[in-house]
Amino acid sequence: MGKPSLESVIQYWFDEMKPKYWFVCNAHIDANITARFGTLYEKLAAMKPAVSTAPVDTLARIIVLDQFPRNMFRNTHRAFATDALALALSKAGLEAGQDKGLTLTQKAFFYMPFMHSENADDQERSLMLFSIPGLEDNYRFAIAHKAVIDRFGRYPHRNAALGRASTAKEEQFLQEPDSAF
């Protein structure tokens, strides 16, 4: 297997990976992503976030910094360690209009760092971004994510991984079905 490239990220995520596996807990997929893209993740995590001239390369960087850590470092603080970098890339890419030429599915992942943010303003922007026709399923998830941030100011399901104490209300919430994303 050669050195991973931004192009290989796009090929893997959108061509090789079946959409039904994008958001599931699967040890085989987690190990595969780690083996194939772990070195690229470490390289990008150590760099200052900068958009590429090619929008699809910016998208690849966002996926590496936002999606892949959730697989590579599942249930640990590192799963969220590069969220701010991914969000900075998404914001800069949007400012440059880089989402305009992407497919709807690609746009969803370009916008995903807003949904993953624990910032209320980012959640508002997430709703706006996912409100475009064709992203209705993502929009429903954006509403659900925003509701959790509005209620708690953070994602309680991250507390254990991030070493945060949960409040009694958060503990109660975490017992509810579908409380974790």
Number of domains in the chain: 1
Residue 1 predicted with pLDDT over 60? no
Q: What is the pLDDT of residues 44-77, one digit of tens each?
A: 999 987 878 899 999 999 999 999 999 999 999 9
Residue 153 predicted with pLDDT over 80? yes
d(CA 133, CA 120): 23
At residue 180 the predicted structure's pLDDT band, cuts being 50, 70 and 90, is: confident
Contact assessment for residue 157 and residue 149, using Cβ atoms and an 8 Å cutoff:
no
CATH number for the domain spanning 74: value is: 1.25.40.10
Q: What is the pLDDT of residues 86-112, one digit of tens each?
A: 999 999 999 999 999 999 999 999 999
pTM, rounded to two decimals: 0.95
Helix or strand (DSSP H, E) at 125: helix 120-130
Residue 2 predicted with pLDDT over 70? no
Predicted confidence at residue 10, as pLDDT, reads 98
Which residue range is the domain that position 141 belongs to?
6-174
Domain presence at residue 89:
yes
- Cα–Cα distances (Å) from 123 to 18, 88, 114, 167, in that order, read 27, 14, 6, 22
d(CA 77, CA 138): 25
Q: Which residue has the tokens 């104490």?
A: 165
Domain presence at residue 179:
no
